[in-house]
């Protein structure tokens, strides 16, 4: 007991969480002494842990003032890294210095949508948006609430619809059918904890999607998560979608899809279709959860009453932006297919997807090569327009790639963390300065020490937001989000939110597609002594890691 009281390690835990036992066992097997704090009986300490870490999930470990994220405690205990860290960090966090009143305010969530004035796009005079409005009117009868903040970045508003969601949905409906496609959307949104997307997935298809939602919610109540019983196509897809959120897809889960397909080609097409629709909901889940946008009231009521979900009370009775019987202004109106052809032509005119990617990104990313062929050119165009230097962007491309790098590292996506890190270095000037910024990006996102002058306050705020966006769910505690709210105007906030959403999109796809790191990027990380696996990016234990500024 004396050793535990003197230890620099502090474990915040909830005894009801099954992971607590595994974590404590791993630490004791590594002969590590640590102070234990039961947050189930001490709400003040629960708030203290969230204040210090930015996360509301437990268990949480601190070595001195350095937070060890929940999923990392066991591997770092087993490989000796925690013991090494404890030898360097002998002072433990001073919990007595934290006031109850200050903690309560600091950890309350911020809805960033409250900081972004409402902007109504129903009367848009831009012809490119008219097919979207016709689609929303015909399918929903209203303009979705999430469109209001997204509309502040017109390119993101249009391209996410035309180049990502529509082709992904079309591919999934063709290969998987309506019931399974709806199940994939429900599974991904439920696992992430996105109320807005869960309601939309349950209600958007009318009685067909409501029936699927009832089946899914019933399986949740039975503890099967929609995957109980013998394997079939729908259950395999549900499982892949949920695992894409947690980046836990393994060979056995892909083999399950093969077992319910007629041949390898069909299995691969189905896996790609699930990955693409899961990716779309990666974008929607992150954007809606991080912004805090409220779901439409009447759909909330339908989900509660007819889908078997308890999604909370509706903020209002009806839609905020009704859009019945929309008719575009008179004149030549683009068609949905025509818009897809227009965007696809930007890639085809460059010589195809590979030539376009090499021109824009300096490389053909392996994940884009694995994207379903029918939507590959559109996805490549969407990604580059959102992430590369463009006249419509307010946030530098280098910072957006650093945000995606941080988000991928936080979610243990080594491939994407490496790819986005290389892109950040490349767009930042490909020099020593950009290399140092990459080396310390994750430290900056976690409020650790970084060399003076490397990041300004705006950039630190953006990187902290990127880290929060990678949490499940993406809860936005005031202390970790307030800086972004203070340093960025509404249009810039939307671009930060969209960047985080694009990172969520690519992570979901890569969790299922599992591309290997490109040789050029692997050589870059090796040449410059940079860690290429996400765990080492989070905890560079070679002396690079500085003292926390918590």
Q: CA 168, 173, 177, 179 torsion: positive or negative?
A: positive
Q: What are phi and psi of 8, to 5 degrees?
A: -80, -5
Q: What is the pLDDT of residue 458?
A: 97
CA–CA distance from 231 to each of 125, 186, 256, 258, 544 (Å)? Answer: 49, 18, 7, 11, 47
End-to-end CA distance of the chain: 27
Mean pLDDT of 245-250: 96
Q: What is the pLDDT of residue 229?
A: 54
Please give the sequence-ordered ranges of beta strands (E in DSSP) within 252-410, or none if there are none. none
CA atoms of 374 and 381, how far apart (whole Å): 13
Assess contact for 526 and 308: CB atoms under 8 A: no
Assess contact for 247 and 412: CB atoms under 8 A: yes
Q: Which helix (H) or strand (E) holds 62?
A: strand 60-63
Maximum mean pLDDT: which of 42-51, 74-83, 181-190: 181-190
**DSSP annotation string for 196-247:** HHHHHHHHTTTHHHHHHHHHHHHHHHTT-TT--SS--HHHHHHHHHHHHHHT
Q: What is the pLDDT of residue 4?
A: 52
The residue behind tokens 């949480």 is 60
pLDDT in tens, 357-371: 999 999 999 999 999
Domain map of the chain by residue range?
A: 2-107, 113-334, 339-538
Q: What is the pLDDT of residue 314?
A: 73
Mean pLDDT of 437-442: 97
Burial of 262 (0-12, 13-18, 19+ CB in 10 A): exposed
pLDDT at 544 over 50: no
Q: What is the pLDDT of residue 474?
A: 72
Q: Does domain 2-107 sit in CATH 1.20.120.1200? A: no
Task: Give the chain's mean pLDDT.
Answer: 91
95 HSE (CA, 13 A, CB side): 17
pLDDT bucket at 545, cuts 50 / 70 / 90: very low
CA–CA distance from 74 to each of 30, 68, 85, 152, 446 (Å)? Answer: 10, 10, 14, 43, 20
pLDDT in tens, 139-187: 999 999 999 999 999 999 999 999 999 999 999 999 999 999 999 999 9
**DSSP annotation string for 126-147:** -GGGHHHHHHHHHHTSB--TTH
Q: Which helix (H) or strand (E) holds 12?
A: strand 9-13
Q: What is the arrangement of strands in the sheet containing 66-68, beginning at the earlier edge strand?
A: 35-38, 9-13, 60-63, 66-68
Residues 6+ apart with CB under 8 A from 470: 406, 407, 408, 410, 411, 503, 504
CA atoms of 80 and 86, how far apart (whole Å): 10
Q: What is the pLDDT of residue 546?
A: 44
CA atoms of 381 and 365, how far apart (whole Å): 13
pLDDT bucket at 507, cuts 50 / 70 / 90: very high
Rounded to two decimals, what is the model's pTM? 0.94
Instruction: Report the CATH superfamily, name and number, of domain 339-538.
Output: AhpD-like (1.20.1290.10)
pLDDT in tens, 2-48: 445 557 899 999 998 888 999 999 999 999 999 999 999 888 998 99
Instruction: Please write down the HEC assignment for all residues of 175-200.
Output: HHCHHHHHHHHHHHHHHHCCHHHHHH
pLDDT at 101 over 90: no
CA atoms of 326 and 328, how far apart (whole Å): 7
CA atoms of 79 and 85, how far apart (whole Å): 12
Residues 6+ apart with CB under 8 A from 31: 83
Candidates 14, 6, 79; CA nearest to 46 is: 14
Apex 145 CA angle, 139 and 146, nearest 5: 100
């Amino acid at each position: 007991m004396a050793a535990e009281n003197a230890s620099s390690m502090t474990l915040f835990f909830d005894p009801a969480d099954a992971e607590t036992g595994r974590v404590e066992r791993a630490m004791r097997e590594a002969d590590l002494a640590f102070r234990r704090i039961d947050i189930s009986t001490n709400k003040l300490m629960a708030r203290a842990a969230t204040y210090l870490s930015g996360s509301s999930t437990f268990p949480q470990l601190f070595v001195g003032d350095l937070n060890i994220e929940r999923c990392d405690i066991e591997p770092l205990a087993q490989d000796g890294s925690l013991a090494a860290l404890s030898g360097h960090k002998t002072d433990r966090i001073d919990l007595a210095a934290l006031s109850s009143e200050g903690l309560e305010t600091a950890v309350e969530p911020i809805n960033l949508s409250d900081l972004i004035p409402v902007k109504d796009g129903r009367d848009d005079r831009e012809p490119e948006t008219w097919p979207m409005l016709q689609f929303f009117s015909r399918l929903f009868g209203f303009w979705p609430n999430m469109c209001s903040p997204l509309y502040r970045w017109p390119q993101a508003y249009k391209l996410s619809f035309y180049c990502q969601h529509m082709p992904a949905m079309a591919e999934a409906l063709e290969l998987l059918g309506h019931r399974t496609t709806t199940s994939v959307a429900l599974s991904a949104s439920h696992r992430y904890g996105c109320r807005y997307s869960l309601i939309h997935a349950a209600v958007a298809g009318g009685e067909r999607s409501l029936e699927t939602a009832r089946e899914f919610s019933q399986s949740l109540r039975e503890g099967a998560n929609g995957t109980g019983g013998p394997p079939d196509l729908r259950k395999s897809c549900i499982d892949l979608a949920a695992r894409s959120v947690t980046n836990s897809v393994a060979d056995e889960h892909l083999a399950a899809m093969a077992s319910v397909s007629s041949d390898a080609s069909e299995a691969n097409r189905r896996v790609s279709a699930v990955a693409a629709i899961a990716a779309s909901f990666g974008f929607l889940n992150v954007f809606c959860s991080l912004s805090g946008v409220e779901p439409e009231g009447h759909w909330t009521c339908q989900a509660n009453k007819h889908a078997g979900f308890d999604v909370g009370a509706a903020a209002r009775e009806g839609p905020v932006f009704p859009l019945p019987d929309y008719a575009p202004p008179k004149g030549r109106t683009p068609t949905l297919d025509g818009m897809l052809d227009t965007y696809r032509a930007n890639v085809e005119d460059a010589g195809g997807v590979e030539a376009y990617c090499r021109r824009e990104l300096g490389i053909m990313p392996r994940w884009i090569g694995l994207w379903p062929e029918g939507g590959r050119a559109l996805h490549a165009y969407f990604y580059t327009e959102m992430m590369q230097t463009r006249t419509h962007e307010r946030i530098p491309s280098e910072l957006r790639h650093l945000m995606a790098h941080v988000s991928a590292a936080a979610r243990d996506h080594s491939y994407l963390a490496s790819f986005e890190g290389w892109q950040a270095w490349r767009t930042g000037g490909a020099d020593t300065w950009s290399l140092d910024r990459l080396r310390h990006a994750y430290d900056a996102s976690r409020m650790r020490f970084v060399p003076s002058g490397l990041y300004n306050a705006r950039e630190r705020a953006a990187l902290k937001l990127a880290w929060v966006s990678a949490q499940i769910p993406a809860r936005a505690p005031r202390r970790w989000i307030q800086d972004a709210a203070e340093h960025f105007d509404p249009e810039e906030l939307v671009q930060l939110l969209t960047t985080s959403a694009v990172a969520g999109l690519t992570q979901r796809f890569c969790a299922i597609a599992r591309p290997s790191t490109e040789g050029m990027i692997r050589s870059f990380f090796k040449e410059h002594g940079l860690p290429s696996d996400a765990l080492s990016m989070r905890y560079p234990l070679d002396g690079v890691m500085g003292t926390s500024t918590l």
